[in-house]
Structure 1
Amino acid sequence: MTTKICSGVALLGAAILVIGLGGCATGNTTTSQGIGPITYTQGKDTTGTMQPLIDAWNAEHPDQKVTFVELPESSDEQRTALALDFQGHSASYDVVQTDVVWTSEFAARKWIMPLTDLGLSFDGMFDPVLKTGQYNGVQYAAPFTASGRFLYYHSDLVTTPPTTWSELQSACSIATANGIGCYAGQYAQYEGLTVNFSEAVNSAGGQILTADGSPNLNTPEAKAGLQFLVDGFTNGTIPKETITYKEEESRRAFQQGKLLFLVNWPYVYNTSQREGSDSVMQGKVGVAPLPGKSGVGTSTLGGANLAINADSAHSITAAAFISYLESEKVQRSVLTIHGDPPVLKSLYDDTELQDQVPYLRTLKESLNAAKGRPTTIAYNELSLAIQKAVYPALQGTTSVDETLRSLNDKLVSLVESNK
């Protein structure tokens, strides 16, 4: 084996060199050492982020080349494809990009390997972001991109963005005076509804599951969170048509000037500023942390993690590739070229980047206070239960109290059956 193996492994430092290498050997022994070509997979790369990064890696590591396989764009289809591969132990993929909510399930089923003995460093990352890759206190996935949500607003109409729900309600008079809707998130019956419900509960000081995984919706805080959303639909703060909104529908409504406030992910900022788009908001978009019941609210954590297939024959190369993707150089380019928020805290304090990315300071504030969606090996079932219960409450067909009572009972049964 050539010295390229040494350079690839060197990304992980001396700790990796100790693990089965015994130095940089020559000869065809890469499989037993966990070094060699690997396959990386993720959902459809709509931003064109990954291939240039992989090409740069391959140019430096001809003996440890990475093959890129794209999965469908749908998160559900991605998870299904990965689950089938994991269950068949075919090891078609070595490094997999995962949704932050998949960690517990994949780790509990032993589909992905712990990263603790592979020499990876997670220093300088946001603590809430790092925890999305943990299961039972062990790091199973490495954060690659981090994302929190913002309150976008008409900066030409709103001087000071609201920090509480009551301030938001008061500001809706501006929307009425201008003949536009006041506030929207994503309320269609899909994963986005779970995100918005989680934010409302967390922003009222509650939590869907406690630290030990117990459902916790029979509380004043959970009631306040759901009541905020229900009242919004009842009193018109949230326009009726938003009951069908996903991310893109809500983005378009805001960009077309139909909403005063919007809660959405960071990508909306760049799309709203593009000339020649359907946006009438160029130069008029303000960004602030989410409002909450008594002060600044709590964003849901988004982003993507990187995990290693438990059946990978080349786990050392896989770990080195992950280390490369988490390097400051790559993280910086992912932000500046493609607009994906990085996981390294230091980049958020970089004055040059702050000038290039106006929302960077706000995103840092959002990430520091953000919380992940409920952590459970049965996350898909939990999310579907939330969507099924909360959607009719927003439509006014079930009461807040009954919704939370029946949903809590459903989640108790779900958690118990998956212990």
Structure 2
Amino acid sequence: MSSKKGNITILGAGESGVGAAILAKKLGYRVFVSDKGAIAEHYAEELKKRGIEFESGQHDEARILKSKLVVKSPGIPETAPLIKKLREREKEIISEIEFGFLHQSGTIVAITGSNGKTTVTSLTHHILKNAGLDVGLGGNIGKSFARMVAEDPHEYYVLEVSSFQLDDCYKFAPHISIITNITPDHLDRYDNKMENYVASKFRIIQAQKRDNHFIYCGDDMETIKGLGRFKIKPHAHAFSLEHKVDDGAYYDTEKEQIVLTIDLESMNIDELALQGKHNTYNSMAAGMASRLLQIRKETIRESLSDFDALEHRLEPVMEIHGIEFINDSKATNVNSTYYALESMKKQVVWIVGGVDKGNDYSQLTPLVSEHVKAIVCLGENVQKIHDEFESEVELITDVKSMQDAVQAAYRFADKGDVVLLSPACASFDLFENYEDRGRQFKDEVRAL
């Protein structure tokens, strides 16, 4: 069967790859999906059911190199041999986010950043949904963008996009782009150069037009440096906790309110469902995006005050004998854990550790000496954490299972304390992913 669109190969068969395959088939491409690893059973079933050809455990290079277009999973690095060969032959390689963008006609709010992007994405979606808009949520969370475009199109899309997804975007131009902040993360994918990682985040604005909008944190050093390096075409709006902002948002410390000044009428918000300094930033970003889409002030206020916390992100689990347990398993880097420790009002028993991505823990030391009474190091290799904080706390122990971690933390904690799982590390030494780690934490707490 010939295809008017030609051959397309989708590399990787996770949510992003399968979504791209569904869209490609609908558009009339001859689709081939190739995954060097094993394909999850439900995705393999879905591809079979739709009559989409696929292979797993290998790459049929000869066939892939004949493709007119390649859609690459964000997990595949540029250094992969097959990608190098495709580049040598000057094949077009794009991300699933780019592919989805080229075939839709909605209004897009896209959010990236090292921390807070999932919260800002979910908050923005929550506000737009409460305003009665036809809005989809996806990208790096939930459904892939391409899948929504193919099967469940919307007038508005709120997308979380990672730097890996942005690396293969060229024409992707959201109406509103947001960079929450930029702190060292995933540097192994960027030649261990911070400026490469920053450049990757700023790709979110590369194709935006003059009538689009760019929202950024005016207190974030790396973002501010980026503003000097890259050409900013869209209207730029800052949010800040440290100084007043004319065309954006800031925090009025006297009135203890967020002030949105993004349009002619400023508005104040004093009731936030999500507590902590980082969530004040997240609420500002979501509030600004909503105002730019002409959402009523009342809807924004209500939505920011009734939003439920996300699973695995400073998620309250339960209280046992006056000890509060909080699941912050999504804190896979030092900066996320910094925010978590900073927002604690009680004495903390801290469960930390996992796969170290070249972490510098020293920035946490002042917070540890102020807030943390005991540390439980969870992981295969936690010597670095031990060495860093040994002198800051009276109690520190090493464990290799979540059950041991929760039981040790419970022993160390007294009534009125909080047990905080905020690992500052990736989870792959003992767990499938951060969700698995968070779920095991919650199961063990409930079993106490």
TM-score (structure 2 length as normaliser)? 0.26
TM-score (structure 1 length as normaliser)? 0.27
More strand by share: 2
Say which structure, 1 or 2, has more relative contact order (CA 8 Å, 6+ apart).
Answer: 1
